[in-house]
Amino acid sequence: MAARRCSASVVLLFLCGLSVFVAANEQNTTPTGGYRAAEADSPRTPAEAAGHPAAEDGRWEATEVGDAAPADAEPDERDASRPGTTVPQPKDDFQEELVIRPLHSGDIYASFQFRTLWETDFMKGNKVSHYRLFPKSVGQVISKFSVRELHISFTQGYWRTMQWGQPFLPSPPGAELWVWFQDTVTDVDGMWKELTNVLSGIFCASLNFIDSTNTVQPSASFKPLGIDNVTDHRFLRYATLPREIVCTENLTPWKKLLPCGSKAGLSVLLKSEKLFHSSFHSQAVHIRPVCQDSECKTTSWELRQTLNVVFDLHTSGQGKREWSLFKMFSRTLTEACPLASSSKIYIDITDNPEGELFELTPATPLLSQAVLMGDRRTFSVYDLTQQITFGTMRSLNLLIRWKSSEGHMLRPLLHAERYVAGYGLQAGEIHTLMYNNHPYRSFPVLLLDSVPWYLRLYVHTLTVTSKGKDNKPSYIHYQPSKDRERPHLLEMLIQLPPNCVTEVTVQFERALLKWTEYTPDPNHGFYVGSSVVSSLVPSIVAMDTNSSLERPLFSNFFPCKEESSYFVRIYTEPLLVNLPTPDFSMPYNVICLTCTVVAVGYGSLYNLLTRSFQIEEPSPGLAKRLANIIRKMRGVQPL
Amino acid sequence: MGLLSDPNRRQALISLLTRLNAPICVVCYMAGVAWFMGLAFEPFTLRTYMSENAMGSTMVEERFPAGERALATGREFASQKNKVDGMPVDWLVKAMQARGLEVFTQRFTRTLPFPDENNERYMVKGTNVYGILRAPRAPRTEALVLSAPCSPGDNNNQAVGLLLGLAQYFRNQIFWAKDIIFLVNEHDLIGMQAWLEGYHHTNTTGMDWSPLQGRGGSIQAALSLELSSDVITSLDLVLEGLNGQLPNLDLANLFYAFCQKIGVLCTIQGKLPRNDWDSVSGYSHAVQTMMLMVMKQASGRPWGDHGLFLRYHIEAATLKGINSFRQHKTDTTTIGRLLEGMYRKLNNLLERLHQSYFFYLMPSLSHFVSIGYYMPAFGLLAVILLLRALDLWVQLVTPAAPTEDGVVDVEQSGSGVLSVLTPLVISHLTGTALYMLPIRFQEMAVEHFPVSETEAVVLTAIAVYTAGLALPHNTHRFVSGEATEQGWRVLKLVAVLYLAVLLGCTALINFSLGFILALTLVPVAAFITPHVPKVLSAFVLVVLSPACTLLFSVFFFQELQEMPVSFQDGWLLYLSVISQGILDHFLYGSLVYPLIALMVYPCWLLFWNILFWK
């Protein structure tokens, strides 16, 4: 299989946008909030601002993009203001964050981000044994398996791009795991096998079902997100389990990795009875090495735990378009995690500058801006490290009350869907549709398809069409499957023309499995994991390429190298394909029938047809035989 | 089989079979018919039972409260329908969006091969509207469908109202594990065909449709709802689909179970259940119900919007609300609760419905006849053909055996092959003409004769059919010089075996069609020789030909439905049935018309040929 490589694909590696961080603050007592806000002589840091009363309302100010110094200074100042919770020279650091975005459909999207940074080196000879904030189980995994980067996500549900827009961190339905190993590792497959089993134990998930039949090594789609830009994909392993069901037993071990557990801080909101009463639930762990400063003199390990959840307006009952922390999580907030250096809640109010869409109480004086997904967004910020945030009730219960009730479909710039075409149990066709909704810019996307071996892809039927015309991919990497050993891997770099839909189709044949290879519920069908579409989408506003700048956690995950575009990864829906299935419910009948037909019917019929019948001569008597022998010796004719 | 390996005993057996061939055939025929009639006798049938565990023990609660509101929505839909004189697409889109669904539309156009006079349509243009209820925390891999047709006139407004009411109620529930697609299809079956082809991106019938924007993964089950009155007296279940396909019996069981639970009167084939199986009228009631199912299944056409789902291995049925003059009425809330219960149980499915039977007949909703019970009836008819074939074979072999003259045999078989092949080819060419000509020549026929296109097609078909009888069949005289006794025997042997294979294959796919054809064609195949009285036999042969079978079936079907027709009306109905059959083939891919034209009719012509051998 000829695989052409295109240099452009490598570019996709270094992607991504950045945001103008804007630490903003206000200096007023807002009428609804009812607590004392502050006036600042220097409006740079919220921590300082907290002390001074003022009468101005709704003013916020942005720091300069290049001006890193105040941002760097910020944590120090905050540390100083809370003596006793931090060590003088902290080598590890914990931040927590909750972003809430009210969606047009009336649903609400909440995204938790927890980041633990630790300036240590797991790979050197000295064993790391003293753990403070960083979870020991994860640290041991990193050092034992020589992991350079590890990304694991568990998702229940499918992210509805057309209704909800882009998520902060995308993930496919089911479980997804991709790992970059250090280039010192010799037996990558062995390491991978062991690692998946260990992770299976840590997260109480069926990751042990990851084996060579569903593991691939993508050549371009998954590049390291940390500092090491290795491109040798021999050290990369990627696998998805689309069938994995995510529930509380996966949430509990995930929560245990947090320094505060579920005892304090934002994590008290993580109650499973509410998190799983939602439209979408996704939890993830990302481990990668990152730079400490802009010169990248020192590196540290970043453990980022994210949890995304979308609550549904209709199923939450009452029918009122109204959301509060209590209604979402059945808890309110009373304190930040004492171990956290920063603990904030962001509410996306971009579409609601004048409060005409929804009403937010208590109001906050703090505003922040971030460039996110090619768009400049404005957020209201609640700093949980400030006692004043909790007001006189000593608890924070944010309330969002909708004023209008319009719910229209969105038109995200990039959107993809996939389905199986055809009927019958012999052949079929996989259609992948990719929508470029940009009015005039075309952009490249990398499509990754990993298809199990029992769907035999006919690669000669692969077509890519846009607007009815053939669209030739500039790069195709195809690895054919081997029965019962490895899946198909198809990676393509496709240029999506503006304002149209690009369709990728490939035909397949359904293989007949051996009877022990069927799952216990064969008539349910077999899953094919999501395809992955990675792309650099043209940005409307200039992206921030300075990665060292202090920014909200949700906006700085994907590194960004260009100002004009930002990185987006979207996942299509998984497929459920029926394979030809024997009727297992009547093996007895089947065995009886086939045995009877073969033994009695076919056997004797064959016998009748092939045998020639002759009248048998009666056998001669003993005397006659003797006489014949004598006659033969004499050379005369026998009787 | 040891019996057959012994030459002496084999001879004895064969001579017995040839000597008693005719009586055995008669007995088999009678036994086959008797067996079939016995199927409807209740003690011989099995009670239906739920095989699927996921739907069995897990009880669900039905709480749908909003029947009145659904009716109001239905009335609003009716007024909107009258306002735009067709499908109120914008209103439906808004209504579904307001209920929190993801709404999409699909446009389609279809030009029929000839005008459909029953439904008065030729150039069909329409729009399907569907809304998807996305199941929370489900990855869009499985879906259920609830559909209601947007019919012309005042029909089915309540069905659309109830569909929207259920959509609103379902949307507020958290327990859905599969996406639910609410579909309102225009132009009933054509719209449904367009939607299904769009959903599965296939094009089997040459329809133009715009691609679908939203999907819900593989569809597990579907129900189609037809409801034209605010209150109903009973719900009728329609199962027969395209080409005689039936949904899994568990779907019928599910419906029956919920009718029992909620207390709705349910029927099948419009026949109420009765308990007096031991009385003559009770038995004849069961026979009528079963015969209706057999007739409907044999027609190979979809008897409701659900019928087209079956091709895609989606279990589907149509529920029809019937409002008669009974006292006890059921309101819309109750029907809503019934549907809610069915969908909640379907939602619980872990696998596709596969546990229960796919091949069955139903003499009542509570009893069924499985394939193992009804196949012997057909087998007894089919064995007649094999016995006749054996008899012919023996007759062909016996005179040749003592001479043992190889040269003569070869010569004979050489001319024999030709004399068999020529009628085979001619009759199949006639069949091909019957299949191709009616559509091709409709324009020419309309130009030259004072008929409409539809009449032209039907009359051309009948003309070709009749012309086939007059074709020169006695080609063997030109090929081999004379009509040998050997010649017709070989031809009949081939014809009988051909018919046996043909009917056997048909019965495996569509038992009813196979059985009805066997009922009429097997006697023909059994008795026809060149030596029987010509005129009488020709008459019997024509009476038992496929076309006349269809004519009788039309009258019989009307009789079973308790709507007997006069001969004049019956004839008109017969003509429209033919045109519908041809349309079904071109619109939905029904295989009955090609099967009759390309296979059964040529096979019957062979027997006609044998009759006029000399």
> Which residues share a beta bridge with A100?
A110, A347
Which residue numbers of B have CB closer than 8 Å to A's CBs? 1, 4-5, 7, 97, 100, 102, 134, 136-142, 171-174, 200-202, 215, 217-218, 311-313, 350-352, 354-355
Residues 6+ apart with CB under 8 A from B146: B163, B166, B180, B181, B182, B183, B222, B223, B225, B339, B343
Residue A186: how many other CB atoms lie within 10 Å: 9
Q: What is the Cβ-side half-sphere exposure of residue B471, based on CA atoms within 13 angstroms?
A: 25
CA distances to A11, A365, A367, A381 from A53, in Å: 50, 12, 17, 18
Q: How far apart are CA B302 and CA A111, in angstroms?
A: 50
Q: Please name which of B320, B226, B315, B230 lies closest in space to residue B269, comparing C-alpha atoms.
A: B320
Which one of A313, A421, A577 has the shortest CB-CB distance to B202? A421
Q: What is the Cβ-side half-sphere exposure of residue A343, based on CA atoms within 13 angstroms?
A: 23
Is A578 in contact with B218 (Cβ distance < 8 A)?
yes
Which one of A276, A521, A527 has the shortest CB-CB distance to B350? A521
CA A150 distance to own-chain centroid: 12
Chain A residues in contact with B201 (beta carbon < 8 A): 419, 421-422, 429, 431
DSSP state, residue B434: H
Q: In what order do the strands lie in the sheet with B218-226?
A: B208-209, B102-116, B121-133, B179-186, B142-150, B218-226, B315-322, B234-238, B266-268
**If chain B, 614 residues long, is cut into consecutive pieces of 10 residues, what is the mean pLDDT of each piece?**
67 84 93 94 90 79 90 93 91 91 93 84 91 92 94 89 94 92 93 94 90 91 93 93 94 92 90 86 92 94 93 94 88 93 93 91 92 93 93 78 42 62 88 90 82 86 88 64 74 93 94 95 89 88 92 93 88 92 92 94 91 80
Residue A63 near residue A51, CB atoms below 8 Å: no
Residue A418 near residue A540, CB atoms below 8 Å: no
Is B218 in contact with A576 (Cβ distance < 8 A)?
yes
Residue of B nearest to A278 (CA): B136
pLDDT value, residue B189: 92
For residue A490, the one-letter residue type is L
Residue of A nearest to B172 (CA): A315
Beta strands in B453-541 (DSSP E): none
How far is B159 from chain A, CA to nearest CA, in Å? 24
Q: How far apart are CA A309 and CA A109, in angstroms?
A: 6
> Which residues share a beta bridge with B236?
B267, B320
Is A160 in contact with B134 (Cβ distance < 8 A)?
yes
Give A 582-611 residues with CB within 8 A of chain B.
583, 585, 600, 604-605, 607-608, 611
A503 close to B (CB below 8 A): no
Is A157 in contact with B4 (Cβ distance < 8 A)?
no
According to CATH, the topology of domain A414-577 is Immunoglobulin-like (2.60.40)
Is B137 in contact with A278 (Cβ distance < 8 A)?
yes
Query: Do strands B266-268 and B360-364 pair parallel, antiparallel, or not at all (unpaired)?
Result: unpaired
pTM of the model: 0.87
pLDDT value, residue A19: 34
pLDDT value, residue B58: 62
Which one of B138, B200, B351 has the shortest CB-CB distance to A423? B200
Is A281 in contact with B137 (Cβ distance < 8 A)?
yes
Residues 6+ apart with CB under 8 A from B503: B378, B381, B382, B385, B514, B517, B518, B521, B522
| Structure tokens given for A629 | 């022998």
The C-alpha R_g of chain B, in whole angstroms, comes to: 28
**Reported ipTM:** 0.89
Is B312 in contact with A419 (Cβ distance < 8 A)?
no
Which one of A157, A575, A604 has the shortest CB-CB distance to B138? A157
For residue A362, whether the previous peptide bond is cis, meaning omega lies within 30 degrees of 0, is: yes
Q: How far apart are CA A508 and CA A490, in angstroms?
A: 13
A524 close to B (CB below 8 A): yes
Query: Do strands A147-156 and A280-291 pair parallel, antiparallel, or not at all (unpaired)?
Result: antiparallel
Q: How far apart are CA A110 and CA A124, in angstroms?
A: 39
For residue B408, the one-letter residue type is V
Is A423 in contact with B350 (Cβ distance < 8 A)?
no
Q: How far apart are CA A146 and CA A177, in angstroms?
A: 16
The SS3 call for residue B484 is coil
Q: List the domain boundaries for chain A.
A: 1-51, 92-402, 414-577, 587-613
Is A419 in contact with B201 (Cβ distance < 8 A)?
yes
CA distances to A434, B64, B259, B508 from B268, in Å: 46, 25, 12, 24
Helical segments of A427-485, H only: none
Residue of A nearest to B134 (CA): A279
Q: How far apart are CA A416 and CA A433, in angstroms?
A: 5
Residue whose tokens read 């995510």? A246
How far is A467 from chain B, CA to nearest CA, in Å? 13
Element (H, E) at B261: helix B249-262
Residue A540 near residue A19, CB atoms below 8 Å: no
Is B311 in contact with A423 (Cβ distance < 8 A)?
yes
pLDDT value, residue B614: 73
Residues 6+ apart with CB under 8 A from A144: A198
Residue B138 near residue A157, CB atoms below 8 Å: yes
Query: Do strands A322-324 and A342-348 pair parallel, antiparallel, or not at all (unpaired)?
Result: unpaired
| Structure tokens given for B557 | 């079907």
Residue of B nearest to A312 (CA): B136
Is B7 in contact with A280 (Cβ distance < 8 A)?
no
Is B139 in contact with A280 (Cβ distance < 8 A)?
no
Chain A residues in contact with B386 (beta carbon < 8 A): none
Residue of B nearest to A530 (CA): B139
The SS3 call for residue A168 is coil
A573 close to B (CB below 8 A): yes
Question: What are the φ/ψ torsions at residue A409 (nearest 5 degrees)?
Answer: -75, 145
Give A 73-112 residues with CB within 8 A of chain B.
105
Residue A502 near residue A434, CB atoms below 8 Å: yes
How far is B103 from chain A, CA to nearest CA, in Å? 9
CB contacts < 8 Å between A and B, how many?
A: 111
Q: How far apart are CA B481 and CA B212, in angstroms?
A: 65
The SS3 call for residue B245 is coil
For residue B376, whether the previous peptide bond is cis, meaning omega lies within 30 degrees of 0, is: no
| Spans in chain A with pLDDT lower than 70 | 1-90, 124-127, 228-229, 294, 317-319, 404-409, 544-550, 585-588
Which one of A524, A578, A608 has the shortest CB-CB distance to B350? A524
Q: How far apart are CA B56 and CA B60, in angstroms?
A: 10
CA distances to A588, A589, A591, A592, B383 from A596, in Å: 12, 10, 8, 6, 20
CA B70 distance to own-chain centroid: 34
Is B352 in contact with A524 (Cβ distance < 8 A)?
yes
Q: Please name which of B214, B219, B224, B151 lies closest in space to residue B183, comparing C-alpha atoms.
A: B224
Which one of A281, A315, A573 has the shortest CB-CB distance to B173? A315
Q: How far apart are CA B72 and CA A415, in angstroms?
A: 38
